[in-house]
């Protein structure tokens, strides 16, 4: 059942309350856990009662250092061939860019504009001149386009390109491995595929800590499912201006 909300307000959440509020909404999001950093958190509160409760949150984080879409989104700042040290890149990123890392609305209040109001409120008073967001649901929900952001084509990462090539040379497709059983059978049929999966896992900070022993076929099969799901449904990137 969906509750129609015509009266809610967006507030900035105090730093001390940000982590607890995000943690309370985290189970409602398709990505597990909370973002690594919180630059700002906004909350949408139902104002139709005497004791308004938070019905949606938006989290803004500092950007990740590596973002292959930025050279296409803002070529003047992030040209792909520009010589720049990691420190210089980090300094430029932190000055110009923030990332909308989460937009989560309680199921009872979805479809009534809460998410759009959260995004628009932030974009009216952003922390930095440029804003970006990666959305795995971007093909289904036009939230960011409706809020005035534009889509940028995101090229596959180096590790994704390598894994795609490894699958292609074996005449395999990522879509085959959304099933754990299929991933397990493929690893048994071609043990060398495990090396490619572990290489993919080690190539990013987001998955490096999940790397299992080379003999743990069950864990490697789960990583193959994770990697394949990302290849099949790559997130869309939205930026301003």
Is residue 200 in some structural domain? Answer: yes
Q: How far apart are CA 68 and CA 77, in angstroms?
A: 13
Instruction: Pick the last residue of a domain from 114, 135, 152.
Output: 152
- Whether 20 and 84 map to the same domain: the answer is yes
Q: How far lies 120's CA from each of 15, 146, 147, 202, in Å?
A: 21, 9, 6, 37
Over residues 74-96, the mean pLDDT reads 88
Q: How many structural domains are present in the chain? A: 2
- Whether 56 and 110 map to the same domain: the answer is yes
H or E segment at 121?
helix 114-124
**Structural domain that includes position 214:** 158-232
- Whether 169 and 193 map to the same domain: the answer is yes
Over residues 67-83, the mean pLDDT reads 86
pLDDT reported for residue 6: 55
pLDDT digits (tens, 9 = 90+) for 22-54: 999 999 987 777 888 889 999 999 877 777 899
Residue pair 228/198 in contact by the 8 Å Cβ criterion: no
- Whether 130 and 176 map to the same domain: the answer is no
Residue pair 167/182 in contact by the 8 Å Cβ criterion: no
Predicted confidence (pLDDT) at residue 188 exceeds the cutoff of 80: yes
Percentages helix, strand, coil for the chain (3-state, rounded to 5) are 45, 20, 40
- Whether 136 and 30 map to the same domain: the answer is yes
Of 214, 211, 223, the C-alpha closest to 177 is 223
- Whether 169 and 148 map to the same domain: the answer is no
Kind of pairing between the strands at 150-152 and 8-12: unpaired
- Whether 204 and 134 map to the same domain: the answer is no
Of 8, 12, 113, 10, the C-alpha closest to 60 is 12
């Amino acid at each position: 059942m969906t509750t129609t909300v015509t009266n809610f307000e967006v507030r900035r959440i105090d730093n001390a309350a940000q982590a607890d509020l995000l943690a309370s909404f985290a189970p409602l999001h398709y990505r597990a856990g909370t973002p690594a950093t919180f630059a700002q958190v906004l909350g949408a509160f139902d104002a139709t009662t005497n004791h308004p409760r938070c019905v949606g949150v938006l989290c803004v984080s500092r950007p990740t250092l590596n973002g292959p879409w930025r050279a296409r989104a803002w070529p003047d700042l992030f040209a792909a061939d520009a010589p720049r040290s990691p420190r210089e890149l980090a300094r430029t990123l932190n000055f110009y860019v923030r990332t909308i890392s989460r937009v989560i609305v309680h199921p009872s209040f979805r479809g009534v504009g809460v998410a759009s109001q959260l995004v628009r409120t932030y974009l009216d008073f952003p922390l930095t001149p440029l804003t970006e967001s990666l959305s795995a649901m971007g093909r289904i929900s036009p939230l960011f386009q409706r809020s005035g952001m534009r889509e940028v084509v995101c090229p596959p990462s180096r590790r994704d390109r390598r894994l795609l090539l490894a699958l292609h040379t074996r005449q395999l497709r990522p879509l085959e491995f959304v099933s754990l059983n299929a991933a397990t059978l493929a690893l048994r049929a071609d043990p060398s595929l495990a090396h490619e999966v572990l290489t993919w896992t080690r190539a990013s900070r987001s998955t490096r800590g999940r790397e299992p022993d080379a003999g743990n076929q069950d864990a490697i099969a789960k990583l193959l499912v994770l990697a394949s799901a990302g290849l099949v449904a790559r997130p869309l990137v939205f930026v301003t201006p």
